[in-house]
Each structure stands twice: as structure tokens, then as C-alpha cells.
Chain A
Amino acid sequence: MELIAGRMLDLVTLVALWAVALFLIYSKRDIWIRRLPALDFIEESVGRAAEMGQPVMCQGFGSGSSGIQSSIAPQIVAALSVLGHVARICARHGTQLVATMASESVIPVADEVLRTAYRLEGKSEEFEARKEEMMPWTPNQANMVSAINALRPAAHIIIGAFWHESVQIAEAASGVGAVQIGGTGRLYQIPFFAAICDMNLIGEEIYAVGAYITRTPQMLASIATTDYFKVISLVLIVLGTILASMGMSGSLDALFTW
């Protein structure tokens, strides 16, 4: 048994991250996190849909062959957290909810999320009666756009991992007059959502959804850990820039290939 060379810095960073996260989680400090207007806007957009008698549509549950077993799993989990939250509000207001499924591996999980949300609002029968229409199968962008044009949602919540289809889907929803909340961790799709959607979750904000909704001290502590490490990253960037400017790139290379 031996440690693999070149990955030691990764290991040290990961252990440090775990240590800080666990310390903050179990120290039970009061942690403040800033407002995420996009998430606060969800209730308002569902209310708008209820008033207009049109559905709320959620998208972002996988993409083609990429499902909950792939590298986009964290973004799907974030999208599922939002789905649970939206489903409860929809069940409370009696608003029609449609969550399009783009990966077969997400369907059973989304089914359970929706079932739980409707049960918690005492609307299990409604879920069982409408389950079939609630989760249409839309494996590619053509299906997603068709679903938007056919259902004409009043609110469109599009959070998760998307590729070039992001612009097609979001623009189609804009075309039918839906208010939109968009968010993705996929770098090159962020500008599309910023351009088209009314409210945005940028980058890592989508991972904070679960904590923001549940507001448990442990979840908030893990979000604070991200912020601490962002500060550390910033310090390292400044330090690296200084060292590189002083012609000490060799020391940096040695550090990062350790």
C-alpha cells in the first residue's frame, strides 16, 4: 500500500476541508448566510402561476445519458432539493407542477421527492392522481422545448447541469411569458441564464439551496466552510502571483505536484 504521488496536496486539502466542516458543524455557532433572492422568488413565481391558472415547470433532472450516477450528480441533487421545496409550495397553493425528466436514473428519486412533498402537505391523493403528467420524459432539448410550448408554464425553474440546450429551453420559456429562475454549475451556460432568466443562481449558489431552504445549523456550517476556503484560495492566488512575479515558479510547481 502506498500513497499516489502528485495527489498529496489534494488529500491534504480534502482532509482540511473535512476538518473545518466538521468543526463548524459540531461547534454549533450561529452562522449567517446572505440572502439568495432567486430562492425567495420561488414562492412569488408559484403564486403567480396559481393566479394565472397555469403550471409551474421544473427542469434540470439529468441530461441525456448523464444522470444521478454521473459527474453532474451534485447538481441533480441540488435540483432535487429545489424540486422538493417547489412541490410543497405547489401542493399548498393547488398549482399544477410539471417536472421534466431527462435521465431514467433520476425518475425514481424525483418520484420519491414529489411523493414526500405532497404527503407533507396532506395531498397524497392529488399526487397519485396526477403523477403520470407530473413527470414527463424529456431526454433531449427538442422534447423540453415541446413540453414548454405545449404546457405554457407561468413559472419556469431551471436549475441543474445543462449544455447548449440551456439557451433553447430558457428562451422557449421566455417566449411563452414564463418568469424564470435559472441556475447552473456549468461555467459556459451561466451567461445564457444570466441573459434570459429573471432570477439567477450563479455557480456554487445552487449547492447552497439545501442549506438555504432547511436552514439547519449543520447545513449552514457547511456553506460557511465553502466561504472560508474561498478566502484561503484568494490568499493562495495572491501568494502565487507574487511568487511567480519573483521568478519562483519552480517552488509553486513543486507544491502543486506534490
Chain B
Amino acid sequence: MSSSRTYKRQIPLALTFIVGIIVSLDWFIKWDPLQTFTTTLMNFQIVMVAFMMGFAGVNLVYLHSRRIQRNMSENKLFDALLSVVLLACLFIWVAVGIGMGMNSDTYKWLFNTFNQSLSATAYAATLFYLASATYRVLRIRSTETGILLLVGAITICANIPLFTAYFPILGTILVWISDGLVKYSYRAITIGVGLGGILMGVRTLLAMETGYLGATEE
């Protein structure tokens, strides 16, 4: 067995099994040493994620510095400018965050002015995508899509007061659809997803599912 294989496969798999079992036991057993150990493991995870964030930041600077150089040499000035804006934002954000703190007025102003408004805009765009997706789904192509159209039409009409005022039965039908058909179908899917997730965990602990290590098909 090569040392590379031991380092990249066997040790992580063994650690996954041991840590997985310990953390699982902590859910069922109340024992102070176990709880202390699990808390320490969780803290390790927080530290590792923080390290990854820092590493990602450094990587971003490296990547975009190279991209600026390459785009400048290929005369792609707009692309270079985008990378410059990104790096400038990164440095300003980090400097304000570390220098003034995340609760400072400047940091909040930056967040509310840029991040918040841009996020709200992106979120608002969902409406248009949703409308075109609705149009796509409500076209009759088969029996199933015909039923979907019928249910969709009832749901839409039942949510409009004008229709429910004249046809109160629509409200009753909507409640039957959402509290009956939809809820029970979702529960069936939830049971399947839950079992699938647990079995994925079992496969991971037994070193059968190794996707998280990178080598999925070797």
C-alpha cells in the first residue's frame, strides 16, 4: 500500500468512521466525557471552516491577480476591470470588517447599500422566472400535464377573492388538495429522503461512499 493511498484514503476513511460513530452516540447517550469530546470535535469543525474561508480568500486574490495579468496582456480590459472591482471590494470589506468591526455603521452601510439591495434585486427576479416556469408547466402535453393544468387553475382561482366569492366550493377543493393530496405526497417523499439520507450516512461510515474524498470511481 502506497503512503499516498494511506494518507488520502485509509486515514480519512478511518477518521470518518470513528468520528461518525462518536457523534451519533452523542445523540442517544448522556455521558459527560462523550459530550465534551463531541463539543471539541464540533469546535475543530468550526476552526477548519474558518481556515477554509481564509484559504479561499487567499486563493481568490491569487486567481484574480493572474486573471488581471492575463486579460491585460490579451487586451481584454473590461474583463480585467471586473477582477479589479472584485479584489477592491474584497479588500475594502475585509479592512472595514477587521478595522471597525461587523457592528460598525460603515460595515452596516456597506452591507445594506450593496449586498442587501443587490440580493433583493436578484430575489425579485425570481418572480419572472417563476412566471415563465409556470407557463412552461401549464401547457397540456399529456394526461398528467392536463391534470396539472386543472389543479393549477383551481389553485390560482381559489386564491383570488373574486372567484371564491361566487364559487365558495373552490376554497374547499383547495383545502382538500393542499391538506390531502399534497401533504401526503410530500410525506411519502420525506420518508424516502430521510431513509436515503440515513443510508448514505451508513455507506459513508462503512467507506463505501467515498465521493467526499474526491475519488469516486477509482
Contacts and interface: CB of A to CB of B under 8 A. Distances in A.
Interface in B176-218: 186, 189-193, 195-204, 206, 208-209, 211-218
B214 A109 contact: yes
B126 A168 contact: yes
Given A3-B29, A116-B218, A185 B211 contact: no
Contacts of B218: 116, 120
Interface of B: 24, 27-31, 34, 45, 48-49, 52-53, 55-56, 59-60, 63, 66-67, 118-119, 122-123, 125-126, 129-130, 132-134, 136-137, 186, 189-193, 195-204, 206, 208-209, 211-218
Contacts of B30: 1-4
A10 interface: yes
A77 B136 contact: no
Contacts, number: 190
**Majority secondary structure, A binding face:** helix
B116 to A, nearest CB: 13
14 contacts: A17-B198, A18-B202, A74-B196, A74-B200, A112-B213, A113-B216, A132-B63, A164-B126, A185-B193, A194-B137, A204-B195, A206-B196, A210-B203, A213-B217
B28 A203 contact: no
A45 interface: no
> Is the contact region of chain B dominated by helix, strand, or loop, or is it mixed?
helix
Interface stretch (A29-37, A49-57, A216-224, A244-252): A216-224
Interface residues of A, number: 81
A226 B213 CA distance: 24
Contacts of B200: 74, 77-78, 207
A90 interface: no
Contact of A85 (B67, B192, B208, B216): B216
A88 interface: yes
A180 B13 CA distance: 34
Given A18-B202, A68-B212, A214-B217, A207 B196 contact: yes
